[in-house]
Structure formats: structure tokens, C-alpha cells
Amino acid sequence: MKEAMFYTKLENKTVKCNLCPNECIIENNNIGICRVKKNIDGILYAISYGEISGYSLDPIEKKPIKDYKPGSYIFSIGSYGCNLKCKFCQNYEISQGNPNTLYFSPNEIVEKAKKYKESIGIAYTYNEPIVNYEFVLDCLKLAKKGNLDNVLVTNGFINEEPLKELLKYVDAVNIDLKAFNDNFYSKICSGNIEPVKKSIKIAAEMTHVELTVLLIDNLNTDKNELISMFKWIKKIDNTIPVHLSRYFPRYFMKNPPTKNSTMLEVFSIAGKYLKNVYLGNI
């Protein structure tokens, strides 16, 4: 457990967390939406600090990161918790559940990463690394000192100041762009799109960015909406790699898997605006 970095103390031992756009107001002895920030006597703590639910040596393409050191392997770690509540979450056991964890210090994580000789560094993935901000930032800094690469896989739902601090140490980031309308973000993910769009713009200025769009038939596959999305990405940089990923039923969402024909059609539309489009889960 470590004191959280971004919060404001309010009256009666209540605090306001400023890490992500949820900006939770948390009363004494309560936790935030992400479940990993707890107010204890008016101090906000990162209670998941160092709690690792899983690690593995993965191909970088699995993140997915396609155009940064292709063909390499990366030591990948995850914890638990998330600041969104996507009904289709592909990793809900750790993002919304309470998995078994083992404690590692940042130093132990970096040392472990170095032992994998094929690994280029550390990927912060599996659950949402933003909510484990304090631990991830400590690891990022240590990894950089040890000449390791840092890769972040995130929903991009974070406030500007903490994001900029984090990205100083990040070599490549994959950000989910879950749809191009606020209705989808609010109804299906319990979030909103504007902070994610802002994060993508900031990240594109600071590091190597790739985007993942999980396509779900009839929910985020409206052609005009997708064209608006691809045009928006093109305006930032038409070389940003975009991964179109096929949805499969998970967690609360029972809709059938996205049709292959949809995947191919969207791939073809995206290719009219963007130079690097990839299909995933197909």
C-alpha cells in the first residue's frame, strides 16, 4: 500500500481522487470505482500497489503493438481493477474480480524482467494499468534506468496531468478507442469518450501510439461513425497503427461474435484513410 499521488482532501476525512475522469468523491473507509484506491482516515491509498495477478513473456504483437520493435518479446505484468465497467470486458476476472495476487516491489519486477534475455522490457497490461498508477510509475522509472523499454496497454481514461507524467517514461502505448460516440462509452463502458480522445492526442505527441478498436456488430459498426473515427485519427497522424479486433461474447455481453464480413468491410473502409490497419482475433 502506498499513498495515492493525485487527490484532494475535503471536509470530514473525505477525499476526491484526481487520477481519472471519474473523479470519485470517497468517504472515509470507502473505495473508488476502480476498487484499488481506498480512503483510510482522510488519506487516499493505492491498495493494489505491487499486487501482481499474472506475468508472462509475450510477443509484442500480442499487446497488440505492431510497429514498435516487431518480432520482439516483452515481459508482461498485470494487477487488478479498472476505472471503466465495459459489459464485454475480455479480462473481467482481473479487471472486475478479486484474483489471487503475489506482492512484488518495483525493483523485483525490473530484476525479473531482466532475467528474460529475449525481453525488450516491461508491458503493463492485462488489467487497466492507469488505476495501478503509483506502482506502474515506480516501475517505469526503474525500468528506464535499467535500459528496458516500457509498453502501456490502456483504455486512455485518465486525466491530463497524470498521463503526461506517465508518458515521459513510455516507449509505446496501445490505447483502446472503444467506439466513436459518447452513448456507447456511457451506456456500455460507464465512461465518456472525450478524455480518451484527449489522451490519444497527447500520447501521439509524446510517444509511439497504436489504437485498438473492438468491433461489435450493430453497437459500434455504423459506417458513418467509423468514417468519422478514421478521419479523426487521420487528422492526428495517418500512420498511427489501428488494430480492428473481433469481439467474442464475454462477461455480461451475449451478442454473437462479430461477423467476419463486418471485419473485412471495416478493414477496407479504414484503409481509405489510414496507412497501417490490422485485423485481430480473426
The mark string for 53-92 relative to ligand SF4 (x by CB under 6 A, - otherwise) is ------------------------------x---------
**Region of 15-23, 58-66, 139-147, 169-177 interacting with ligand SF4 (CB under 6 A):** 15-23
Query: What residues numbered 101-130 form the site for ligand SF4, per CB under 6 A?
Result: none
Q: What is the rounded CA–CA span in Å between residue 126 and residue 81? A: 10
The C-alpha atoms of residue 145 and residue 121 are separated, in whole angstroms, by 11
Q: Which residue is nearest to ligand SF4 (CB)?
A: 32
Cβ contacts of 162 within 8 Å, gap of 6 or more: 5, 6, 18, 19, 130, 133
# binding residues, ligand SF4 (CB under 6 A): 12
Cβ proximity to ligand SF4, 194 vs 205, nearer residue: 194
Does the protein bind ligand SF4 through residue 24 (CB under 6 A)? yes
| Beta carbon nearer to ligand SF4, 15 or 151 | 15
User: Does residue 37 belong to the site contacting ligand SF4 (CB under 6 A)?
Assistant: yes
Residues composing the chain: 282
Does 165 bind ligand SF4 (CB under 6 A)? Our answer is: no
For CA atoms 132, 68, 167, 177, give the dihedral sign: negative
17 part of the interface to ligand SF4, by CB under 6 A: yes
Please tell me whether residue 22 binds ligand SF4 under the rule CB under 6 A.
yes
Piece of the chain touching ligand SF4 by CB under 6 A; list 14-22, 108-116, 145-153, 165-173: 14-22
Beta carbon nearer to ligand SF4, 20 or 211: 20
Which is closer to ligand SF4, CB of 175 or CB of 233?
Answer: 175
Closer residue to ligand SF4 in complex, CB, 79/83: 83
Out of 15, 46, 109, 131, point to the residue binding ligand SF4 (CB under 6 A): 131
* Segment interacting with ligand SF4 (CB under 6 A) among 28-36, 114-122, 164-172, 196-204: 28-36
The grid cell for 125 is: 497490461
Among 5, 14, 23, 227, interactor with ligand SF4 by CB under 6 A: 23
Q: In angstroms, what is the minimal distance from the CB of 15 to ligand SF4?
A: 9
Beta carbon nearer to ligand SF4, 110 or 131: 131
If binding is defined by CB under 6 A, does position 175 make contact with ligand SF4?
Answer: no
**Distance of CA 95 to CAs 34, 80, 166, Å?**
9, 5, 20
Alpha carbons 131 and 21: distance in angstroms, whole number: 12
Where does this chain bind ligand SF4 (CB under 6 A)? Answer: 17, 19-20, 22-24, 32-34, 37, 83, 131
